[in-house]
Structure 1
Amino acid sequence: MILSDGGIKSYLKRGLMRIEPFTEAQIRENGVDLTIGNQYARFKRTEDVLDVTEETDLLKYYQIGIMDDEGMVIEPYEHVLLHTREYVEMPPDLVGLVNLKSSFARLGLYIPPTVVDAGFKGEIVIEVIGSSFPVRVKPGVPFIHLVFLRTDSPVLRDYSVRGRYQGQRGIRLPKLPIKL
């Protein structure tokens, strides 16, 4: 079941879920709008092969930067990582689905399907893929819509048990090596 605006307000008011900073204007009919944080990571073009099963210097593959008030330009078809300004704490009975706000999708930007697991705490990091033309984005602009789905019961082992990105703030690059 998808949480309505009333359900979202109830979770927040009862302290079952947390979003900071937050204003009620961010609540939509069936989700919450979250804004762009000030850090980004550009994917570098390189011929060096990254082996996901080994530790490696990820700065060979990413350029991390901080946005000022002018923001940054996402170049055509470029892949970048952005994060939310908001820190989110998910309860054990809600899962979040992240969607790009329609206005950004209509500009040709794209994000891969992203799930925020039950029990996750942190700023959300999102991969954004550029349009066919350059697009400037700025910190504080609403860019994703988080929809909450209630699970049939609280999860037995939430994200806090083995979540690799628990508590993240800003851009956190992939944790390698990736293992089962």
Structure 2
Amino acid sequence: MALSDRRIQEEMKKGSIVISPFTEEQLATSSYDVTLGEWFFREQPTKYNHSLYNIWSQEHMEHVWGADKVERAVLAKEAFKKYNFAFDGIRPDDKVIVLRPGETILAHTNEFIGGKDHITTMMKARSSMGRNFIEVCKCAGWGDVGYINRWTMEITNNSKNYIIPLVVGRRIAQIIFFETGPILERDYTKAGKYAKSTNLSELKKSWKPESMLPQLWNDKDIKKVQPWHKKQKKG
């Protein structure tokens, strides 16, 4: 069952829900609105003589997402210089991330948010974003019990024709909280790759833009796989 606004506040007082920073205006009847942060990664063109992306390879991942090319939102007045654009609803000094038609980026929430003990979470795009071509988390919007962090968002501009600016600091998605009942001792921090603590101070200190990058290369399913290009030892 999804938690109501009252239950969300009650679980925050108990420490089972973490939201930082918390703004009461962003608390809805059964969810909490999260805002867009300023760092992001864009998909990069291939440097190989093929277009195959091995999602299980750290080298491929770093190439495809430009691991050394993290970008930062720019001022709207700079981003819109080449457009005959009226700043309707966007201030010249707002920071924006400009998405090309069909483009997907990895971006993040400003908020560190999640549940522990017996609370699990799910992210959904705001309805108004979906109606304006913006997809926020595809089908990867589940946060297990114990996952607390800035959430990584796989944001896609689904328009085939239009460039769309997203404004940093504005609401882009919502987090819904659910009660699971008692769990075994193993929460997300014991087996997950994207958060190793539920301590807020530690999480804030350790977070960096590179935390958004996918880590299938570090997945438990493939840790024993020997790369083909390495010579196998003869038995």
Contact 2:115 2:177 in 1 (8 A): no
Give 1:81 shift: 1.0
Give, in angstroms, the shift of residue 8 of structure 1.
0.4
Q: State the distance in 2 between where 1:61 and 1:18 align.
A: 33
- Range that drifts further, 32-41 or 170-179: 170-179
Could you say which residue in structure 2 is the equivalent of 1:37? 37
Is the Cα–Cα contact under 8 Å of residues 4 and 29 in structure 2 kept in the other structure? yes
Give me the whole-angstrom Cα distance separating, in 2, the residues matched to 1:94 and 1:58. 31
Is it true that 1:142 corresponds to 2:148 in the alignment?
A: no
Q: Larger radius of gyration, structure 1 or 2?
A: 2
Alpha carbons of structure 1 residues 116 and 153: separation in structure 2 relative to 1, 3 Å: same
RMSD of equivalent CA atoms: 1.8
By percentage of residues, which structure has more strand?
A: 1
The letter of the residue matching 1:66 is R
**Which runs of 4 or more aligned residues in structure 1 lie more than 4 Å from their structure 2 counterparts after TM superposition?**
none
Find the counterpart in structure 2 of residue 109 from structure 1: 134
Aligned mates of 1:50, 1:94 — CA distance in 2: 35
3-state secondary structure, aligned to 1:52: coil
Q: In 2, Cα distance between the equivalents of 1:37 and 1:101?
A: 16
Checking the alignment, whether the CA contact within 8 Å between 1:5 and 1:29 is kept in structure 2 is yes
Instruction: Report the CA distance between 1:177 and its aligned residue.
Output: 4.1
- TM-score, normalising length: structure 2: 0.71
Conserved? CA contact 2:106–2:212, under 8 Å: no
Query: 1:2-151 residue pairs with structure 2 within 5 A?
Result: 2-46=2-46, 47-56=50-59, 58-63=61-66, 64-68=70-74, 69-110=94-135, 111-113=137-139, 114-132=141-159, 133-151=162-180
Unaligned residue ranges in structure 1 (runs of 5+): none
User: 1:165 aligns to what SS in structure 2?
Assistant: coil
Q: Tell whether the 8 Å contact from 1:118 to 1:155 is kept in structure 2 after alignment.
A: no
1:178 aligns with 2:204: no
Deviation at residue 44 of structure 1 after TM alignment: 1.7
Aligned residue pairs total 180
TM-score (norm 1): 0.91
Point out where structure 2 has 5 or more consecutive residues left out of the alignment.
Answer: 75-93, 196-202, 222-235
More helix by share: 2
Contact 1:71–1:136 under 8 Å retained in 2: yes
